Chains A and B, each alone.
Chain A
Amino acid sequence: MSVSAGTAEVEAKRAGNGRAPRRPVEELDSVVIRFVGDSGDGMQLTGNEFSKAIAKAGHDFATHPDYPSEIRAPTGTLFGVSGYQIQFASRQVFTSGDAPDVLVAMNPAALKTNLADVKHGGIIIANGGAFTDNNLAKAGYKSNPLEDGSLGGYRLYRIDISDLTAHALKDAGLSKKDVGRCKNYYALGLMLSLYSRPLEREEEDIRRKFARKPEIAGANVLALRAGYAYADATEMFITAYRVRSADIRPGTYRSLTGNHAAALGFVAASELSGVPLFLGSYPITPATDILHELSALKHFNVTTFQAEDEIAGICSAIGAAYGGVLGMTTTSGPGMALKTEALGLAVMLELPLVIVNVQRGGPSTGLPTKIEQSDLLQAVYGRNGECPIPVIASSSPADCFDCAIEAFRLAVKYMTPVILLSDGGIGNAAEPWRIPDPASLPKLEVKFRTDAEGFQAYARDANLARAWVRPGTPGMEHRIGGLEKDFLTGNISHDPDNHQRMVEVRAAKVAGIAGDIPPLRVEGPEKGDLLIVGWGSTYGSIVQAREQAAAEGYSVAHVHLRHLNPFPQDLGDLLKRYRTVLVPEMNLGQLSRLLRERYLREVVPLNKVQGKPFKVSEIHDRIVELM
């Protein structure tokens, strides 16, 4: 996402909107894409077509074509690279952007000549099939950058565009050369899908353009559709909003996606506690990258288990937790539904466990690659019986790191499963992460009980947590299970009073976590007209909308909740200090409900369920309306 500072011109253009003139505003809701390839690869055409599609969708855009001097320079050479850059946004765009968010590179030379411009953490779509020894040599690469890890700071998608195009056109009856020329339409199809643009208009354009060569038109349409389908099937995400802080703290940074950050956080939890980590998981979009990342870290004390299904994912993690390691599972909405029964078991067993739900559009299969925050009520309530589970949510990619550690801190301290909510936007979006000194991270204390003297499986400490005992500890053999158990011994108990006591103590234990949550951080005035309460990935949009409104003189505050069950102790008081409470969410008002229920406080929901993040303007406009 690029940053485009407002100018006097912006003010002039916006002055006619009937409101007080605004100060220049920074908005981040734009994308910069650069297509690069051999001059014969048709990059200009691809870029042009893409711009048109974008324009037709109502975006403003600006472009910058960059040709080599030769019409057809020798293929694969550095000087033969042709590029086309476009910036598009939901607002006015004045330049083609500084650094591309997305680089589509058709060969090694194109990558080499353009890589330095690409943003840290940006997307690189590389035509993998063109990275042959010959082409690599022509570009001066000693090893293949797609394989040697040198692109680790980017989100690399290696797609064999040439091969896939040839495959899609194998029955089209075209010469090899003509087939090769269709790959720019394949690339266009990829990009149209990535940015959710319809194909129909583009197909019409192709048929019009190649009206005299219907077989070429047909082949180009096939390539376009194939690229489109490929991007759909591989479930690529686009980064949405990101917040740029004006003063960047000094330090060393790297770019991390939320899923990657979460993986690092979980490894950190293991290292900080000295307890091995076990991830039982079943692949599901958009959560799978956490499994990918942790699978590659076996030189830490990390075991990953690709289970046969979602249920086995969580159950294996429960087994591992029983064995005395940090058990966790990762999933997304539909998988969460499948894990429900096992969540109840974990509550009964009172074992530490972390469940990550990287939310996506629902219900059912819903919108697997689109973002939504509609699993909050499921996380808080969605189980049979009185089944309390602490719920926390990360607000940005880098925040996933801290939340991963926090999830395990609560899990082991309170001997409870903890649900960590992220979403597809956060999980797959990258942002700069200020690399912490491991020594500065919170210590994670884990105590296993080894003293058999007076041991009772369900005796509790001051936090109402029972003891964690590793099998293999002599003299403490005991059985646990999903049946209701005696308050002290853990033996099966059907006693009515005991059940009431157990239900209440499980609830009290989770409720007690409220006292263990740091004071809320409020941006903006401590009291006033409006408080925006947010959670999760709406963070960036809310921050910008609030800043914009504050700059316009409105009394607006923002609090972003990490802890959603239980709520922080100071939230109730905070809600009383503002005339109006606005709750933007990518659902139909789930946090709104929880707040009303808990605090008997009217709130104003702002809901969006389009698989797309809030625009800054959407939140800003609502703020102004409520003033």
Chain B
Amino acid sequence: MTDMTEPATLTKKDFETNQDVRWCPGCGDYAVLAQVQKLMPTLGIPRENFAFISGIGCSSRFPYYMETYGMHSIHGRAPAVASGLKLARPELSVWVVTGDGDALAIGGNHFIHAMRRNIGLKIILLNNRIYGLTKGQYSPTSQLGMKTKTTPQGSIDRPFSPVAVALGAGATFVARTVDSDLAHMAQVLRRAAEHEGTAFVEVYQNCIVFNDGAYDAITDKAVRDDARLLLEHGKPLLYGKGRDKGIRLRGLEPEAVTVGEDGVTEADLVVHDEAADHSGLAFFLSQFDAPKLPVPLGVFRAVSAPAYEDMNNQLHADAEARRGRGDLAGLFNSGDTWTID
């Protein structure tokens, strides 16, 4: 514990706890923790107004390492716990740290309903496409055919994309970043922090022990530029080392093309619009996967919509305006009463 500090003077160190971090050496979680700790003091929010809520899994140890208020709850339920906290205390900055099993398997229901409500939670999903804490079983994002302890012959479960799930549930802010690109992660996390309503960030996170190299194609500096697509609002979908590759539409199908070849110009490419009312473009992008198409990173969707907690506050204000602040005697004596002498 440190003394009361003005937000302006906070540093990353103020957000570090004295607890030993228990992730495996080399785990991608470290990078995310560091970026979050770096981001916090820059948000102009007093440290005591942050709360980090998690469920169960490697990622869910996160709150123990943040010198803020926090709760390590039960498997999959962090969005529900956090929703109650946010509704009770809308002035707090409430963050949920979760994983692919926690958010999408056991906690799928809470995850989608947080998105649907647009409640002011910042949800960071550390997606390593494997169960780490239970030592290596496949997860809802593991690739088809993946061999794990529970799929010795290869997985027959079709994975889904957390970004697509979030979009399908009506999320107003959806982004993806990757643990090894610190600058990109910092940028995306800041955008999430500043969003009103639910902000969802998927972080591709390398599990060095059970699924090492899952994201090599998009993190390896030698090849990544051809395998990933950095989304920029209002800009054409361009990628590649020479920024000469792009995505154009063929009917409703995406097609990877090379600018300058076969008469293709930049004007033929799809232009990213994260603020589109319709989440169609964002969903379209969420389906891109290597090797056929580059993997998009960045903000898929960022639209403004009323936050749930604000609407809830409004309900209270309206009720009070209409009926006056409730008083117990009035409440008790309402309805049909009779008196016995």
Contact = CB atoms under 8 A, between A and B. Distances in A.
A232 interface: no
Interface string B49-79: 1011100000000011011111111100100
A222 to B, nearest CB: 37
B319 interface: yes
Nearest to B317: A298
Interface residues of B, number: 67
B4 A309 contact: no
A443 to B, nearest CB: 13
Given A154-B336, A492-B64, A320 B84 contact: yes
Contact of B336 (A152, A268, A323): A152
B328 A268 contact: yes
Interface string A262-282: 001001100100001010100
B153 interface: no
Contact of A309 (B109, B324, B325): B109
Given A316-B87, A477-B47, A492-B64, A472 B92 contact: yes
B334 interface: yes
Nearest to B60: A481
A282 B85 CA distance: 17
Given A298-B316, A298-B319, A323-B92, A315 B328 contact: no
A189 to B, nearest CB: 29
Contact of A316 (B72, B80, B109, B323): B80
Most buried by A among B47, B48, B339: B48
Interface string A245-269: 0001111111100000000100110
Interface string A300-340: 10010101110110011111111111010000000000000
Nearest to B89: A323
Contacts of A327: 84, 88
B4 A474 contact: yes
B80 A299 contact: no
B1 interface: yes
A299 B322 CA distance: 8
Interface of B is mostly: mixed
A157 interface: no
Given A297-B326, A477-B48, A312 B73 contact: no
Contacts of B87: 278, 303, 305, 316, 320
B73 A300 contact: no
B73 A345 contact: yes
A251 B332 CA distance: 13
Contact of B113 (A264, A312, A349, A476): A312
Given A303-B312, A320-B87, A482-B73, A252 B333 contact: yes
Contacts of B332: 254, 264, 435-436, 438
18 contacts: A254-B337, A298-B320, A308-B113, A309-B109, A317-B84, A318-B84, A319-B71, A319-B88, A320-B85, A321-B84, A322-B51, A323-B89, A455-B1, A470-B89, A472-B49, A474-B47, A476-B48, A481-B71
Q: Which 9 A-B pairs have the closest CB atoms?
A: A153-B336, A481-B72, A319-B84, A316-B84, A323-B88, A315-B80, A319-B85, A298-B319, A152-B335
Interface of A: 120, 151-154, 248-255, 264, 267-268, 271, 276, 278, 280, 297-300, 303, 305, 307-309, 311-312, 315-325, 327, 341-342, 344-345, 349, 435-438, 441, 452, 455, 470-483, 491-492
Given A318-B81, A319-B84, 7 more contacts: A120-B336, A251-B340, A253-B337, A324-B88, A342-B77, A345-B74, A481-B63
